Structure formats: structure tokens, C-alpha cells
Structure 1
Amino acid sequence: MQQEPHPPLSTQELSESPTPAIQPSGELEAYTFLEGQLEHAYTQSNVRGTWDLLIPGAYMEFTEATNLLFYDRAAGLADIYLPEGPQGELQLLKRHTGWRRGWDLILADHFLEVSKGDSLLFYDREAGLGELHAMDGEGGVFRVARFTDWRRTWDAIVPVMPLDVPPGAGQVFTSLLFYDKAAGQGEFYATDGQGHLSRVARHSGWRRTWDLIVPFTQSTRDANRTVLVFYDRSAGQGELYAVDGHGGIARLSKHTGWRQSWDLIIPCRISGSSSNGLLFYDRSAGQGELYAVDGQGALTRVARYTDWRRTWDAIVFGTLAGPGPLLDPSLLFYER
């Protein structure tokens, strides 16, 4: 993936302007999360009803709470919010207008050395365009790298633990997995913190029917590793793979008989234990299920919810709600 030369750091495409008209048809609900029990924290009504993407991250230089980036594709608008109300209600930190209207995917992670907080990766599938942007620590965003030759058929791009890190390396940066469903291919790329991507491994012969690839970080006795959850909706199958330090993957477990109607799978943390968790949401049934995941990829159901709203468009996990300055592990639900 070739990086296009870029001009000095600027905010040309990410400028601020007066607040556009808000379409207050959406709603947010936040729940604190404790051992599978969800306790309602707050509801925010009359929020904008046209957000396409909600991206949790750390967009301030010094913050313990999860921040949220909301992106409205049609309007070319993005808002960055902090949970600052009495129960963690979201407060607007920064509004950006003039954003590209073709972004299909936005990721937040540790890609750039210059970024104060998480940096952002953008992907426009139709244009075959990718960009890396850094944060200024106060909600401002500026472009560091632009890629004009990306494949137009990537269906998923997910962050993974740093790859090909030499012994004794200092600061390391999040790597990436790209998945092309039609081609049955996956490619792993390392980032160097300066905006360059280098391919570490390429895999062919992958299943062409994976609908979701969900990463989470798992702690082991020696180090942390990325585990990938692959979900094939039509087959009702899931597989969990561990990623090694060189872009190789090893299957941990295979699951058959999964529901064929899961819309979302959200990695989360089950409070009070060291277990990773996965939250599954079936929109048409209004149901959710929470599972603990062990080191071998086995799933154990912790809770089942049968009365959820059938209209949630997005669910994100983070430290997003709860009384006082120390927010709890939480789920934020958004309906347009």
C-alpha cells in the first residue's frame, strides 16, 4: 500500500463551522455493566437521528473515560463527545464539518506517534482511499497520511496487536487486518507510527462467507494477544482464532449451531473477573446474549436478555456511564 505524499499537517478537510441544523429523532441509552446485570444509567432523547458510525476511543490527551466520535455520512459531519454528566451523559467537545461523505469505515487506535490520544483510520471503499489522521489532544483532527491505491473490495478492516516487533523495540503501534470476502483473502499490515503501512502476511483460501470479524485483546501468561471472532450468519457458525506476532493465525475453537440472525457482536469486559466477554444482539428478535470467553476460545453464557428494543442501530462498549468521576464498564445503545 503506497502512501501518497502529503502536505504539511493541516485541518483542511476537517474544519469547524457553525452548528448545522440538528435532526432530533434519535435516542441514546446507557447501562452500567456488572457480572451480566445491566443497570440503566441514563437516557438522552432528541439526539441527532442521522449518525452512521459511532467510534469509541480516547480523543483527549488526558482522559480515563471512553470518548465517542459520531459520524454522519450524508452531512459530512462528525461530533466528538465526552461522558461528563451526573451519570456520564454525553457532552459535546468538538464539532467538525466538511468531512468526506464517502467514509465507510473509521477506526480509532494507536496508529500514529504524533497523535495525542488515539489516531483515526478512514476507508472509502468506492474510491479505494484510505487516510490516517492524528488528534491534537483537544478534539482537533489533522491528516498525516493518504493512500489512494487501496483495494475497493475490503469488507472489513480490524485492529490487531502490533506485528513484527523486534526485541527491545520502544514504542509500538497497532497493526491491521484487511479482509476481502469475495476473494477469500486476508492481509495483515504493520504501522510504523509515521503513517506508513507494510504488509506482514497474506492469507488465501479464507471462507468467503464471513459476515463479521470482531477483534478483542486477550491476556495470557506471557503477553497479550489479539483473538478474532469470525461469524458466518447463513451457516450459523463461529470460529475464534489467535493472532501471533507475525500475522499468522491459529484456530482456538469452532462453534456450530449459532443463531443465524445476530446483527452485532460487541467485545466487552465482564466486570469483577478477568474474562473477556462477547455481547450478541439480534435486532429482529429484540434479544441479547452475553458470553464469557476463556483462553481456549470456549464460550459460556452469562446472561440472556429477551426484551430489548428491536430498533437499536449501534451498541458500543467502554467506560461510558456511572455516577462520579470514575465511570463503570458500560454499554451505550443508539437508535436513529
Structure 2
Amino acid sequence: MLLYDRAAGEADVVGFGADGRVNLDTTNRGWRKTWDLIVVGDFVGNGRSQILLYDRNAGEGDIVGFDANGKVNLDFTNTGWRRSWDLLVPGDFLGNAKSEVLFYDSQTGEADVVAFGPNGAVTLDTTNRGWRKSWEIIIAGDFVGGGKQEILLYDRATGEGDVVGFGADGKVNLDTTNRGGARAGA
């Protein structure tokens, strides 16, 4: 588990034993105090989890990985990112057994599928345009049983949900709207 203290600029990596007791607690200091969104996935394809930290004001995202002792062993900064992403959703959208990230911008109705190489640098960045600007919740899962993940987008006001899948190029290849489902608060 990662615990991030924005005010202190510190991140603790905490691990647990089979008995539920803490068996690892490593503090990493000197972290940026401006990370807005943090998501977890195997972004570099090494079978372990890394974190992606997004700094909206700087337009930057870092991929950070840890060694067996909880110390940082990978830290790659990607610059020039859009400063208006609202949601970041990790998932294996390309079916390559590693995590990509869907970035959603509700202001423009755009979503990017972004993939990373073994060092954390961006290897794919595909923009999908014309998306609804009212998606409130986006989650990833293998909803159609194809062995890779799609996303479910939910619009509370209309009670609609879309299942969207992606091809190997990161472009939408499945988009099914489901209407009349249960509405939150109904």
C-alpha cells in the first residue's frame, strides 16, 4: 500500500504479512507536493505494480516503481501533458498483459489511451474525441469476456452507461449504450 502525505512531500510503502501485521514500512522523502491524481497498475509490464502520479498544474506525470524494500527503483517523468484531465483509469485495454491509462477530460469530451514502455516513457497516446461531457464514473473491467478490459462510463443524470472497448491502436472499437438502468438515488 502507498500512503502519500502531500503536505510533507513523503510517501510510505507499507506491506503486510499473512497475519495482517505490518512487515514493511519505508518512507520515501522529497516527493512533489502537487500531485493531483494517483493510480496503480503494472504500467511497465514487469509483473509488479507501479504508480502514476499526475500533476495538473505542471502538465506532468511520473511513473514510479519500488524494489522489494519499498525504495524507489524507477522514476520517469513524462512532460507536456494536458492540464485538464479529470479522471485517470488504469486497465489492460490493449490486451497486452500490462496496464494502460485512460485519461478523461470532461471539458472537451476527449479521452486518451496512454501506454508506457519498460522505462516509464509514453509509447502510445491515442485521443478519442466526441465523448459525452457528463460521465461521472468510469471503471475498468473485462465486461464482454474478451480477455482484455473495457471501460464502463456512467452518466447519473440520464441513468445511462456505456461499455467502451479499444483496439491495439487505442481507438474505440466497441461502444454500447445501456439505458434504463438503476439510477443513483432512485
Counting matched residue pairs gives 184
For structure 1, list consecutive stretches of 5 or more residues without a partner in the other structure. 1-119, 166-171, 313-336
Q: Is the 8 A contact 2:140 2:152 kept in 1?
A: yes
Task: Verify the 8 A CA contact 1:275 1:293 in the aligned structure 2.
Answer: no
Instruction: Tell me the CA shift for residue 157 of structure 1.
Output: 1.7
1:271-314 deviations in Å (ceiling 9; x for gaps)? 432242101112333322112223222321234133332349xx
CA gap of 1:128–1:283, structure 2 versus 1, over 3 A, is farther
Letter in 2 for 1:245: P
Kept in 2: contact 1:160–1:176 (CA 8 A): yes
Aligned mate of 1:154, from 25, 35, 58 = 35
Preserved CA contact (<8 Å) 2:24 2:70: no
Change (3 A) 1:288 1:164: closer
In the alignment, structure 1 residue 231 sits paired with structure 2 residue 112: no
State the identity as a percent.
29
Cα distance in 1, alignment partners of residues 167 and 43 from structure 2: 22
Q: 1:126 matched to which residue of 2?
A: 7
Residues 48-103 of structure 1 show CA distances to partners (whole Å, capped at 9, x for unaligned) of xxxxxxxxxxxxxxxxxxxxxxxxxxxxxxxxxxxxxxxxxxxxxxxxxxxxxxxx
Q: Which has the larger radius of gyration?
A: 1
1:250-329 → structure 2 map (5 Å cutoff) = 250-299=123-172, 300-311=174-185
Paired letter, 1:259: R
Cα distance 1:125–1:262, how it changes in 2: closer, same or farther (>3 A)? farther
2:95 is equivalent to residue 219 of structure 1: yes
CA separation of 1:141 and 1:288: change in aligned 2, threshold 3 A? farther
Coordinate RMSD, CA, aligned: 2.5
Q: 2:70 aligns with which of 195, 215, 230?
A: 195
Task: Specify whether residues 140 and 294 from structure 1 end up closer, same or farther in structure 2 by C-alpha distance, changes over 3 A only.
Answer: farther
Aligned-residue offset at 1:204: 1.6
Q: Which residue of 2 aligns with 1:182?
A: 57
- Partner Cα separation in structure 2 for residue 145 and residue 268 of structure 1: 31
Change (3 A) 1:214 1:272: closer
Unaligned runs of 5+ in 2: none
CA distance in structure 2 between the partners assigned to 1:190 and 1:156 by the alignment: 16
TM-score normalised by structure 1 residue count: 0.49
Change (3 A) 1:226 1:272: closer
Q: Give 1:150 deviation, angstroms.
A: 2.1
Q: CA deviation at 1:184?
A: 0.5
Q: Is the 8 A contact 1:270 1:292 kept in 2?
A: no
1:136 is matched with which residue? 17
1:204 and 1:121 map into 2 onto residues whose CA distance is: 23
Deviations 1:22-65 (A, max 9, x none): xxxxxxxxxxxxxxxxxxxxxxxxxxxxxxxxxxxxxxxxxxxx
Runs of 4+ in 1 over 3 A off after TM superposition: 138-143, 162-165
Q: Give the conservation status (yes or no) of the 8 Å contact 2:137–2:155.
A: yes
Alignment TM-score, normalising by the size of structure 2: 0.84
